[in-house]
Amino acid sequence: MKSKAAIFWEAGKRLDIQEVDVEKPHTGEVLVKLVAAGICHSDYHVMTGHLFAPFPSILGHEGSGIVAEVGPGVTAVKPGDHIIVMWRLSCGICEYCSNGRPALCPAGTQIRSTGQLLDGTTRFKYKGQEIKHFAGASTFSEYTVIPEGSALKIPQDFPLEIAVLLGCGVITGVGAAINCAKVKPGSTSVVFGAGGIGLNIIQGSAIAGAAKIIAVDINAKKLDYAKTFGATHFVDASKKNAVEAVRALTDGRGVDYAFEAIGSPETVRQAFDCLAKRGMCVAVGVVPLTKEVAVPIMALVFEEKTLTGSLYGSARIRQDTMMLMEMYKAGKLKLDELLTRKYPFAQINEAYDNLIKGEVARSIVTF
């Protein structure tokens, strides 16, 4: 079948919307008609060459849609089902899956690094040329083929243009606070980067009962967004030394939890330097994979500080998504406030331009 898709030809080039051929789903695969795809910074890291992905490919990893067709052997979903695409495939039986950490499953690493589906082949072609998948998701296309295990069935009455946000930004941010850092009531958090991910770390910290939540960004426009999601203080890092400002806001003590949601070694180190003794710093931003972050051994040993990372909100993706949907329905999770702009799919490059200009909390394209 034919599908309009945004092709990523190579790093440094803008996405190129073309008509591609999409092959029928093979055994264990699902053809999805996308309704919405989220504009996450991770795809932008790929577009700029900051993060590697096989190419040419179809990017996009935050997506919601309707099952159009299933391949042989598929039992988890059927045509007409509403789904969220999960961007990290998991097998369900390995050490990590059995321990409630499906995002660390080797199956996810395999399809992410090869750009192929599980049988080692691909379903997209442009004028006969093979186009690779991205993370087994490829949501920047009217139609995509994903492994059955990447389809998360959701209730038919949950709006798909809101559900899409749960696919990456919300679960990654809220999960980093709740599952990874395990933020405690009355504690203090700082969040570097108040974008789609950072706002949800702020939201997760607020849900967990943090008393003081400091948002750090270089864009003052993010102040109002940060407040909406529960930040109590804001530091404009374009004007002030962020570490000194955070220390001043905590009477010199530092914070219990520091999160980096930007993607640079410098800001990971700044976040770490904001910690109080026994504090935990969680790197969520995707720092170029060849980079290193140095921290003083003194801080690790004599001050018992921790530096860790969090992938996909350290979540049990299926259960946590259902929990987040219930929280939204109960008015305890802000999603409508997060969706500050919607674009037609044809404007996907403009959507990325505006993300980089810092004009949105989170935006989506619709098909």
Ligand X SMILES: NC(=O)c1ccc[n+]([C@@H]2O[C@H](COP(=O)([O-])OP(=O)(O)OC[C@H]3O[C@@H](n4cnc5c(N)ncnc54)[C@H](O)[C@@H]3O)[C@@H](O)[C@H]2O)c1
Using CB under 6 A, list all residues that contact ligand X. Answer: 40-42, 45, 168, 172, 192-198, 216-219, 222, 237, 261-263, 267, 284-286, 310-312, 355, 358
Q: Which does 94 bind (CB under 5 to 8 A by kind): ligand X, Zn ion, none?
A: Zn ion
Q: Which does 25 bind (CB under 5 to 8 A by kind): Zn ion, ligand X, none?
A: none
- The residue whose Cβ lies closest to ligand X is 195
Cα distance between residue 308 and residue 142, in whole Å: 37
Q: Which does 285 bind (CB under 5 to 8 A by kind): ligand X, Zn ion, none?
A: ligand X
The count of chain residues that interact with Zn ion, using the rule CB under 5 A, is 8
Q: Does 91 bind Zn ion (CB under 5 A)?
A: yes
Cα distance between residue 367 and residue 365, in whole Å: 7
Closest to Zn ion by CB, 52 or 126: 52
Q: Does 105 bind Zn ion (CB under 5 A)?
A: yes
Neighbouring C-beta atoms of residue 64, cutoff 10 Å:
28
Tokens of 247: 């220390």
Q: How far is the CB of 49 from Zn ion (least distance, A)?
A: 17
Active site residue 42: yes
Contact region with Zn ion (CB under 5 A), list: 66-74, 105-113, 225-233, 357-365: 105-113
Q: Which does 91 bind (CB under 5 to 8 A by kind): ligand X, Zn ion, none?
A: Zn ion
Place of tokens 């170029």: 288
Tell me if residue 306 falls in helix, strand or coil: strand
Is the CB of residue 331 less than 8 Å from the CB of residue 194? no
Q: Which does 117 bind (CB under 5 to 8 A by kind): ligand X, Zn ion, none?
A: none
Q: Does 97 bind Zn ion (CB under 5 A)?
A: yes
Binder of Zn ion out of 46, 168, 202, 255 (CB under 5 A): 168
**Cβ-count burial of 251 within 10 angstroms (0-12 exposed, 13-18 middle, 19+ buried)?**
exposed
Q: Fill in the DSSP letter of residue 20.
A: E
Tell me if residue 206 falls in helix, strand or coil: helix
Is the CB of residue 172 less than 8 Å from the CB of residue 197? yes
Active site residue 82: no
* Active-site residue identified among 42, 205, 264, 310: 42
Cα distance between residue 324 and residue 302, in whole Å: 38
Binder of Zn ion out of 11, 66, 94, 311 (CB under 5 A): 94
Give the HSE-up count for residue 203: Cα atoms under 13 Å, Cβ half-sphere: 29
* Active-site residue identified among 168, 180, 274, 281: 168
Closest to ligand X by CB, 28 or 169: 169
Chain centroid offset of residue 290 CA: 20
**Cβ-count burial of 322 within 10 angstroms (0-12 exposed, 13-18 middle, 19+ buried)?**
middle
Contact region with Zn ion (CB under 5 A), list: 67-75, 92-100, 131-139, 275-283: 92-100
Q: How far is the CB of 238 from Zn ion (least distance, A)?
A: 25
Active site residue 168: yes
Site for Zn ion in 216-275 (CB under 5 A): none
Binder of Zn ion out of 5, 15, 22, 40 (CB under 5 A): 40
Q: Fill in the DSSP letter of residue 23.
A: P
Neighbouring C-beta atoms of residue 155, cutoff 10 Å:
10
Q: How far is the CB of 213 from Zn ion (least distance, A)?
A: 22
Helix, strand, coil tally for the chain in percent (to 5): 30, 25, 40
* Residue ranges in contact with Zn ion by CB under 5 A: 40, 42, 90-91, 94, 97, 105, 168
- The catalytic residue positions are 40, 42, 45, 61, 168
